[in-house]
Homo-oligomer: A and B are copies of this chain.
Amino acid sequence: MGAERQELAAQRALHAFVSAFVDELARSGVRNACLCPGSRSTPLALLLRKHPDIKVWVHIDERSAGFFGLGMAKVLREPVAIVSTSGTAALNFAPAVVEARYARVPLLVFTADRPPELRDVGANQTIDQTRLFGVHVKASIEVPLPEASKEALRYVRMLACRAVAEARSKPLGAVHLNFPFREPLVPIDSGSSTQDSPREDYRPYVTTSQAPGQLTQDALKGLAAELGETQRGLIVCGPQDDPGFPSAVIDLAEALGFPILCDPLSQVRSSGHACPLAIDTYDTLLGHERTALSLAPSFVLRFGATPTSKTLLSYLQSLQGARQTFVDGGEGWSDPGLRTSSVLQAHPRLLLEGLCRILGQKAEPGGFATRWIQASLVARGALVAALEAEPAPSEPWVLNTLPQALPEGATLFIGNSMPVRDLDAFFFSTPFRLRFLANRGASGIDGVVSSALGAAAALPGPLVLVVGDLSFYHDMNGLLAAKRHGLRATVVLLNNDGGGIFSFLPQAKKAEHFEELFGTPLGLDFCHVASLYGLAYQKPATKRAFMEGLKESLLAPGVSLLEVSSNRDTNLRLHQKLSLAAIMALESCRWDTNLP
């Protein structure tokens, strides 16, 4: 064969092989791929782009691309592909890949690579990409060099199905496929191959289905009996994203008369099912020793990932003699306080529904639950009054008020560090349905803008991101996607010019060089960022202006940036003031701790 014919044959084999793979991805339900420009990844980029059922999202910065894909996958609850060329480009996916692992988000990571003979011999843009993401992916597969034989095409179709199935199986996470490609890198279509054997009915080559874990009826009855006899039972819900979970857990709480301490990310505070048993002030209540003592449970039934509130976690850790049971729905062991004595490995919603069927109708809340409800009302009243007394918009005020101002069905993406903690402490349950998202796997401040925009791209309804200035700065590159992909979102930037959370830590009192090492003011005027990326920009000075700006942004096309000026010292003092107001109100209550 002449060199030219050999080359053509190779380009046809490349087309057949990569097309079969992409086709199988689409059959398996993959609908989105985030691509970053590069030469080595050309076959994947071109053939993903050409597939009618797959939408490609081109990004320049792979770090942002990775998080954008993560945000989409979070909303879709389906794997999204992220694709890079060879070299350090691929490494820029690492933060998103690790977040995907710990937040249980399905991702497909495709990295293009040099063929084996060009590795470790000084070839350009070549690094060792074998197991590039270490233990942080569920599988790391070295794809063979493209071939157009029957067996090779069969293999690559299976591989696509398997990668999707692995990413989708619990615990959800990322699957890495490393694709070696030789030059020439432009695939050539030679029409349908007799070697290729896709299923004719357009189903995937291999279909997979998962049986969710259910306790036996006997085990359920035993548990129901135990719960039914419990006087001081408490349900704790951490972050989770099963849309059917909130109503199921509320049903159980009502059947048992148990209070539910619900993290905003459990979706229970905003499920559309108002329930007085849903307690949203525990971060405040449990910070008051006498109240905390009077509200101590004898049994804790815990769902979801680790809750955001450190106060709640310390409280769970401090409980003497309470039996603590954790329902692990395949998300993995979560017990940083080491107080869990029983782990139920079962599908949470199915468990809840099974228990409700056995327990039957609603129970009247007993003294214990009533005390939780009353204490919560007292704390909430005090906090709301104190927040309303402040003339200017503050960080806690934004997290208190903003969710209430969102339209039904809206999504709030919440930044890590202070915003998520303030949301937990100051956002109170709403009768409206809202969805809360955050990167709580590794809780990094990186990639938040891109994750939120990726979520916005996948959502039908409006999305608001609330983010601090360090986190916003960290992923400003993510804003390029706004114009590029015609996205709509509102970014509320809480700008306290630095690392606000550190003011709350012991470092603030004891450490020299605090401002240099922890305060780290950026000193940036973010109006220039708005100009750079074509964002509508407002910096409201009053609460009213903030609310108007928010409303406007929700109606506007594109991405709006709403900056709220804050100050780290003032913010610390306001938190202390709010806490004090709640404590004063709780101090005046007399709980009869002898009542059950």
| Interface residue ranges, A against B (CB under 8 Å) | 35, 37, 39, 42, 45-46, 49-50, 56, 58, 60-63, 87-89, 91-92, 94-95, 98-99, 101-102, 117-118, 120-128, 130-132, 134-136, 184-186, 305-306, 310, 332-336, 338, 442-444, 446-447, 470, 473-474, 476-477, 480, 483, 499, 501-502, 505-507, 510-513, 516-518, 520, 522-525, 528-529, 531-533
Residues of B contacting A87 in the complex (Cβ-Cβ under 8 angstroms): 442-444
By the criterion CB–CB under 8 Å, are A442 and B517 in contact? Answer: no
Q: Give 5 new A-B contacts, CB below 8 A, not counting A122-B306, A124-B443, A473-B480.
A: A102-B127, A123-B306, A123-B336, A127-B136, A480-B522
Residues of B contacting A92 in the complex (Cβ-Cβ under 8 angstroms): 63, 94-95, 446
Residues of B contacting A37 in the complex (Cβ-Cβ under 8 angstroms): 470, 499, 502, 517-518, 520
Nearest chain B CB to A265 CB, angstrom units: 13
A128-B136, A477-B477, A517-B58 as given contacts; A335 in contact with B121, CB under 8 Å: yes
- What are 22 A-B pairs with beta-carbon distances under 8 A? A46-B517, A50-B513, A58-B517, A87-B444, A88-B99, A88-B444, A91-B94, A91-B95, A94-B94, A120-B332, A120-B333, A121-B338, A122-B335, A123-B336, A124-B443, A127-B442, A128-B136, A185-B506, A476-B476, A477-B477, A483-B523, A529-B532
- Contacting A122 at CB < 8 Å: which of B35, B58, B305, B480? B305
Residues of B contacting A49 in the complex (Cβ-Cβ under 8 angstroms): 512-513, 516-517
Tell me, in angstroms, the Cα distance from A305 to B88 when the chains sit together.
18
Tell me, in angstroms, the Cα distance from A522 to B533 when the chains sit together.
10
Tell me, in angstroms, the Cα distance from A477 to B522 when the chains sit together.
11
Tell me, in angstroms, the Cα distance from A402 to B126 when the chains sit together.
30
Residues of B contacting A118 in the complex (Cβ-Cβ under 8 angstroms): 336
Nearest chain B CB to A374 CB, angstrom units: 31
Residues of B contacting A134 in the complex (Cβ-Cβ under 8 angstroms): 128, 131-132, 134
By the criterion CB–CB under 8 Å, are B334 and A88 in contact? Answer: no
Tell me, in angstroms, the Cα distance from A101 to B91 when the chains sit together.
13
Residues of B contacting A132 in the complex (Cβ-Cβ under 8 angstroms): 134
Residues of B contacting A310 in the complex (Cβ-Cβ under 8 angstroms): 124
Residues of B contacting A56 in the complex (Cβ-Cβ under 8 angstroms): 517
By the criterion CB–CB under 8 Å, are B336 and A512 in contact? Answer: no
Residues of B contacting A513 in the complex (Cβ-Cβ under 8 angstroms): 46, 49-50
A95-B91, A126-B442 as given contacts; A186 in contact with B58, CB under 8 Å: no
Nearest chain B CB to A498 CB, angstrom units: 8
Tell me, in angstroms, the Cα distance from A531 to B529 when the chains sit together.
9
By the criterion CB–CB under 8 Å, are A122 and B333 in contact? Answer: yes
Residues of B contacting A60 in the complex (Cβ-Cβ under 8 angstroms): 470, 473-474, 520, 522
- Contacting A517 at CB < 8 Å: which of B45, B62, B120, B529? B45
Residues of B contacting A94 in the complex (Cβ-Cβ under 8 angstroms): 88, 91-92, 94
Residues of B contacting A442 in the complex (Cβ-Cβ under 8 angstroms): 87-88, 125-127
By the criterion CB–CB under 8 Å, are A186 and B98 in contact? Answer: no
Residues of B contacting A447 in the complex (Cβ-Cβ under 8 angstroms): 88
By the criterion CB–CB under 8 Å, are B473 and A42 in contact? Answer: no
By the criterion CB–CB under 8 Å, are B58 and A444 in contact? Answer: no
By the criterion CB–CB under 8 Å, are B334 and A89 in contact? Answer: no
Nearest chain B CB to A416 CB, angstrom units: 9
By the criterion CB–CB under 8 Å, are A507 and B122 in contact? Answer: no
Residues of B contacting A124 in the complex (Cβ-Cβ under 8 angstroms): 306, 310, 336, 443
Tell me, in angstroms, the Cα distance from A346 to B516 when the chains sit together.
46
Nearest chain B CB to A559 CB, angstrom units: 15
- Contacting A91 at CB < 8 Å: which of B50, B98, B123, B522? B98
Nearest chain B CB to A37 CB, angstrom units: 5
CB closest residue in chain B, given A526: B532
Residues of B contacting A443 in the complex (Cβ-Cβ under 8 angstroms): 87, 124-125
Residues of B contacting A336 in the complex (Cβ-Cβ under 8 angstroms): 118, 121-124
Nearest chain B CB to A449 CB, angstrom units: 12
Nearest chain B CB to A6 CB, angstrom units: 16
Residues of B contacting A35 in the complex (Cβ-Cβ under 8 angstroms): 517
Nearest chain B CB to A283 CB, angstrom units: 14
CB closest residue in chain B, given A340: B121
By the criterion CB–CB under 8 Å, are A511 and B186 in contact? Answer: yes
Tell me, in angstroms, the Cα distance from A444 to B98 when the chains sit together.
21
Pairs of residues from A and B, 4 with the lowest C-beta to C-beta distance, nearest first: A122-B334, A88-B444, A528-B532, A122-B306
By the criterion CB–CB under 8 Å, are B46 and A512 in contact? Answer: yes
By the criterion CB–CB under 8 Å, are A98 and B88 in contact? Answer: yes
Tell me, in angstroms, the Cα distance from A88 to B117 when the chains sit together.
33
CB closest residue in chain B, given A35: B517
Residues of B contacting A121 in the complex (Cβ-Cβ under 8 angstroms): 333-336, 338
By the criterion CB–CB under 8 Å, are A511 and B305 in contact? Answer: no
Residues of B contacting A525 in the complex (Cβ-Cβ under 8 angstroms): 531-532
By the criterion CB–CB under 8 Å, are B42 and A507 in contact? Answer: yes
CB closest residue in chain B, given A483: B523
Tell me, in angstroms, the Cα distance from A480 to B305 when the chains sit together.
36
Tell me, in angstroms, the Cα distance from A440 to B128 when the chains sit together.
15
By the criterion CB–CB under 8 Å, are A446 and B88 in contact? Answer: yes
Tell me, in angstroms, the Cα distance from A582 to B62 when the chains sit together.
38
Tell me, in angstroms, the Cα distance from A559 to B88 when the chains sit together.
27
